[in-house]
Amino acid sequence: MKLNTLAKRDRSGRGGANLRQIATELGVSMMTVSRGLRGSPEVSAVTRERILAAAERLKYRPNRVVSAFKTGRTGLVGVMVRPSKLYRCDLIEGIHDTLVAAGSLPVMHFSRTGGEAAPDAAELGCLHRLLDQRVDGIVFWPSDETVPNHYLEEVWKRGVPLVAVDRPLPHTRADFSGTDDVAGGRIAAEHLLSLGHRRLAILCGEPWVSTYADRRQGFVEAVTAHNATAACEKAGDDAVVCEQIECRNEAAIDESRELLSGRERPTAVFAVSDVLAAHVYEAAAALTLSVGVDVSVLGYADIPEAGLLRPSLSTVRQDFQEIGRNAARLLLDRIEGRNTADRARSIRITPTLVARQSTSAPNHH
């Protein structure tokens, strides 16, 4: 009781004035002040000036809490991310920038699994907390773990728009902002092929991760397409071979070590993620193979560490900041009623190749 009283905040003082105080000061009604401050055309220029001046003088700041109460718009957007994904801060930066430009702010919520018993309870809790704050919308970054969609159903029912980033949510009407990973896989293949590599390998990552699967698909498609063309042209045995290796991160070093030990070892390896590529570096080092000389290695994503590796890692860059901006734009279109379509909208950006030291023309041994 006492503690509560102590902790209670003084709403009245706070150094800043409220509408009523400005109104009293100027001898006008609160409504006029409200209109004046929001730039309504209904108020005369002189009055507006007086109001603005008084607001400045009294250090008035609009109370978005009350405004939210009245208008139903809080100016807050929930951003829900698994902390394991947090290294991609540029995505959050992109979301932030677009939101701020529209007068909103992101509320962060990192979702952890709720222990072994309830692996998804945490995610539900996060959603509830965001919903309780009456956020205008939610950006959700799904992780590898499967997401139970009935949680999202509740968001939908409450009429709060939701956008998925990085990887789409299947069976949901949520909009999506991410990368065209099939194109990314194609770009990877084309880079290696154009360098002259004919014996390729791809480290596919976990097969159930949809983004990885897409990259693989694009890569394999491009190789197949190349073979079709090449066969026509040169009639023959110049066909590109492409070994596909499914493995999770932990097994990557061993797998790629085995891959690179064979006599007919590939001259270039495409790893579907930069982390995977780093593991290929390890394997190559153990076999005293020089990355970028004896074997080309190509990553995917362009994580900050990519440029710091030695040799620096060639990779397919995803512009996460742009993905974030797109996510925010999709969301704002919903929030501000510009997009009322039932169908989910989806924006995928095409990644770009960043050629660094780890890829070069094959060294015919």
199-203, strands of its sheet edge to edge: 241-245, 199-203, 268-271, 296-301, 314-317, 352-354
**Choosing among DNA, a copy of itself, none, which partner's interface includes residue 42 (Cβ < 5 to 8 Å by kind)?**
DNA
8 A C-beta contact, residue 183 and residue 172: no
Q: CA 77 to CA 95: how far, in whole Å? A: 10
Site string for a copy of itself, 320-339 (x = CB under 8 A): ---------------xxx--
Count of positions (residues) in the chain: 365
Residues 54-113 that bind a copy of itself (CB under 8 A): 59, 61-66, 68-69, 71-76, 79, 83, 86-87, 89-90, 92-93, 96-97, 100, 105-110
* Stretch of 8-16, 43-51, 221-229, 246-254 lying at the interface with a copy of itself (CB under 8 A): 8-16
* Stretch of 61-69, 151-159, 171-179, 180-188 lying at the interface with DNA (CB under 7 A): 61-69
> In b/e form, how buried is each residue of 310-334, taking b as 16+ CB within 10 angstroms?
ebbbbbbbbbbbbbbbbbbbbbbbb
Site string for a copy of itself, 201-240 (x = CB under 8 A): ----------------------------------------
Report the residue from 25, 34, 52, 246 that binds DNA according to the rule CB under 7 A: 34
Q: Residue 129 Cβ, how far from a copy of itself at the closest point, in Å?
A: 6
8 A C-beta contact, residue 95 and residue 123: no
**Pick from 214, 222, 363: which is nearest to 291 by CA?**
363
- Region for residue 156 given its phi and psi (left: phi exceeds 0; alpha: psi -120 to 50; beta: otherwise): alpha
**Choosing among a copy of itself, DNA, none, which partner's interface includes residue 207 (Cβ < 5 to 8 Å by kind)?**
none
Q: Residue 61 Cβ, how far from DNA at the closest point, in Å?
A: 8
Regarding beta strands 314-317 and 352-354, do their DSSP bridges make them parallel or antiparallel, or are they unpaired? antiparallel
146 binds a copy of itself (CB under 8 A): no
Q: Which is nearer to a copy of itself, 88 or 186 (CB)?
A: 88
Token look-up 């959603």 returns: 127
Q: CA 54 to CA 246: how far, in whole Å? A: 68
284 binds a copy of itself (CB under 8 A): no
Q: Where does this chain bind DNA (CB under 7 A)?
A: 11-12, 18-20, 27-32, 34-35, 37-38, 41-47, 62-63, 66-67, 69-71
